[in-house]
Structure 1
Amino acid sequence: MEIPRREAMGGARAQIQVISALFMREMLTRFGTSRIGYVWLMAEPMILGTMISLLHSLSGKDLPNGLPTFLFYALGYTPFLMFRSIVNRGSGAVTNNISLLFHNRITLLDTMIARNLMEMLVCFTVCLLFIVMGMVVFHEVPHQPALLLAGWFMSALLAHGLAMVIGSAQVMMEWVEHLVHPFTYLLLPISAPFYMLDMLPQGTREALLWNPLVSIHELNRWAMFGDRINPYYDIPYVLAWILGLNLLGMAGLRVARPRLSLSD
């Protein structure tokens, strides 16, 4: 059976209602009625941050300028965890929600936004908890809170665009699905969530800055720790990636929808 296209509706208000309903569905699907899922979501980056901080402490070396190791690693990994989750889970929103598309009020973009918005808000909550912990335990107040929030948002937008591109590509080429998880794991060591570019040789810095995630992580660290960080980032370059991926992703979804059927 052919997937119906969306009919003309009440504009933005109707779309917000659809996305809100899909958002609640995603929350129940991901976590159910148990609180254990929510606890683990916060515990995973906290455990990782603690373990890396412990290993760093056992090495006998401190981070430059008295940076708190736990906060440094936790706030570096959590935004990357959000990026990886949006790309991994968001890209599957196309093929996993085909049955929802029987309703002509729901589009592929709606399902993608709802799923990725959930991942983004959960990550933001975890990061804010780390910020509060840093203020209470380490007496660390964010240097530029608004800029830090903007950095997290740029990471989410970048992941959203990439998820749309991959999700639409999976409709045409099923083998793409098998490359998503390895790709996001390979991104980890070259995205600078656990180290600063200032620690690296100039040639290595210039090579890594081709990855827009590196600029975002450098911006986040400066927004958190201020002049104790010597950052390297290129925001116009990041915004160009965000714009390009999101435009390409939305175009890909329009191409992908006619290729889907309710019998898939």
Structure 2
Amino acid sequence: MLRSLVRATSALLIREMATTYGKSRLAYLYAIVTPVMGIILMSVVFSLALRSPPLGTSFALFYATGLFPYTIYREVESKITGSLKYSRQLLSYPSVTYVDALLARFILTALTQVIIFSVVIGVLVMASQTNSVFRPVEVLAGISAAAVLGLGVGALACALSTASPLFEQFWNAVNRPLVFISGVLFLHEAVPQPYRAWLEYNPIVHVVGQMRKGFYNSYRGDYVDLTYVYLFALVCLVTGLILLNRYYRDLMENL
């Protein structure tokens, strides 16, 4: 069973790379370079407008360490949400299941985002005096939490959006303001009470705080609770898988 899962997931992973990025290696490189240049440009623009970041001396780094946890979550979540629709033709084969489709998109998207993150952070550190530190364990914890959160929320959204097109529209509307309430452009500690406590129900806030703990020696981030993030992701993932397992055939008829 494990061998069949690995084989099907690998096949879907190769197909995902071929259809998303084309057969040329340059296409995948272009898919990485494009967001890298966009993020670096936005970082430079914000650094010119706001020269004094809440942490450190580089607003570009502050912005990047806030944006990337959100971006990793959002990219993984959106890819997982559309997994069934994207792989509906292959899912007609008995040897291919919805689990294979979810895993293939999760692995490729997470790896791509890690590469983009590494390139952007490397460029920012080399191009400017950031006066930052680098704690690999803290950073990896933030990346892992963001990716797992995207997987869990995406699995639940996949089941619900496949069952109802109205939910997909609702979900897109809900996700739009998330970047403004997840601590990307501000420090969570700067938010007055009781709003600060309310924002802590947003798991992305904890992921952003965790990432910044990996780059700023003075940042404590006492509010960060990755246990809450993983529990939130686990509840969403289990609920999504239960719905997909129970109504999988019915959902496929809606595609």
* TM-score, with length taken from structure 2: 0.88
How many Å apart are 1:37 and its aligned residue?
A: 5.4
1:222 maps to which residue? 213
Runs of 4+ in 1 over 6 A off after TM superposition: none
Counterpart code for 2:157: I
How many Å apart are 1:140 and its aligned residue?
A: 5.5
How many Å apart are 1:256 and its aligned residue?
A: 2.8
Matches within 5 A, 1:193-232: 193-228=184-219, 230-232=221-223
- The answer to whether 1:94 aligns with 2:84 is yes
Measure, in 1, the Cα distance between the counterparts of 2:86 and 2:46.
39
Measure, in 1, the Cα distance between the counterparts of 2:119 and 2:177.
28
| 2:228 paired residue among 220, 237, 244 | 237
- The answer to whether 1:22 aligns with 2:5 is no
| 2:238 paired residue among 217, 226, 247 | 247
Counterpart code for 2:226: I
User: Quick check: 1:222–1:231 contact (8 Å CA) kept in 2?
Assistant: no
Deviations 1:136-168 (A, max 9, x none): 333656442122112111111111111111111
Matches within 5 A, 1:164-203: 164-203=155-194
- The answer to whether 1:121 aligns with 2:95 is no
Counterpart code for 1:216: V
Measure, in 2, the Cα distance between the counterparts of 1:150 and 1:261.
35
Measure, in 2, the Cα distance between the counterparts of 1:215 and 1:76.
11
Counterpart code for 2:147: A
Deviations 1:113-139 (A, max 9, x none): 111221111111111123333443336
- The answer to whether 1:130 aligns with 2:120 is yes
Of 85-94 and 102-111, more deviation after overlay is shown by 85-94
User: Quick check: 1:101–1:107 contact (8 Å CA) kept in 2?
Assistant: yes
* TM-score, with length taken from structure 1: 0.85
Percent identity, please: 23
List alignment gaps of at least 5 residues for structure 1.
1-10
Measure, in 2, the Cα distance between the counterparts of 1:129 and 1:199.
30
Measure, in 2, the Cα distance between the counterparts of 1:175 and 1:76.
31
1:4 maps to which residue? none
1:256 maps to which residue? 247
- The answer to whether 1:51 aligns with 2:42 is yes
Measure, in 2, the Cα distance between the counterparts of 1:39 and 1:199.
38
Counterpart code for 2:48: S
List alignment gaps of at least 5 residues for structure 2.
none
Matches within 5 A, 1:48-87: 48-59=39-50, 61-87=51-77
Measure, in 1, the Cα distance between the counterparts of 2:30 and 2:20.
13
Measure, in 1, the Cα distance between the counterparts of 2:254 and 2:123.
49
